[in-house]
Amino acid sequence: MRFERASMAEEIEEIRRQKLAELRNQAETGGAGESDWQSPSEPIHLDGGAELSDTVAEHDVVLADFYADWCGPCQMLEPVVETIAAETDAAVAKIDIDANQQLAAEYGVQGVPTLVLFASGQPAERLVGMQDEAQLRSVIEKHV
């Protein structure tokens, strides 16, 4: 057990060193450049309405995935959502309904997974249940 903890601590320290080097490089080059204007290539895990509002304000199209860890269809949807984040112009936000019950209620989430597509700062589409990649791409393309 001690070896695992030491190994994990070493990994965390290496990640910290890499991140510090990235931040220093960004500071020296005046920021991240054009990548600031692109959608993230991985889902963004949000906690709370303020983070969702900031994300929706920052990106033209945001696909918000309201999910729960215990939800089988949510787990099946996860790789699809990750692909959508990596390959489309939409930012993908993941919101755990158990940790964000008030936010889920605010958006009328009664079953999971529920996907809400925001376009130009407003909810534009709502999809409930398991979705395939083609369906999500089609919905996003209507709003990009």
How does pLDDT run across 67-82, given as a tens digit for each residue? 999 999 999 999 999 9
The yes-or-no answer on residue 102 being catalytic is no
For the whole model, what pTM was predicted? 0.73
Number of CB atoms found within 10 A of residue 13's CB: 10
C-beta separation of 73 from 112 below 8 A? yes
- Of 58, 71, 107, 123, catalytic: 71
Q: 74 an active-site residue? A: yes
pLDDT-derived band at 30 (thresholds 50, 70, 90) equals low
129: left (phi over 0), alpha (psi -120 to 50) or beta: left
- For strands 61-67 and 114-119, give the pairing: antiparallel
Q: Which of 74, 81, 84, 109 is catalytic?
A: 74
Cβ within 8 Å of residue 46, ≥6 positions away: 52, 55, 64, 93, 94, 95, 100
> What six digits make up the tokens of 103?
């936010």
When pLDDT is cut at 50, 70 and 90, the band that residue 8 belongs to is confident
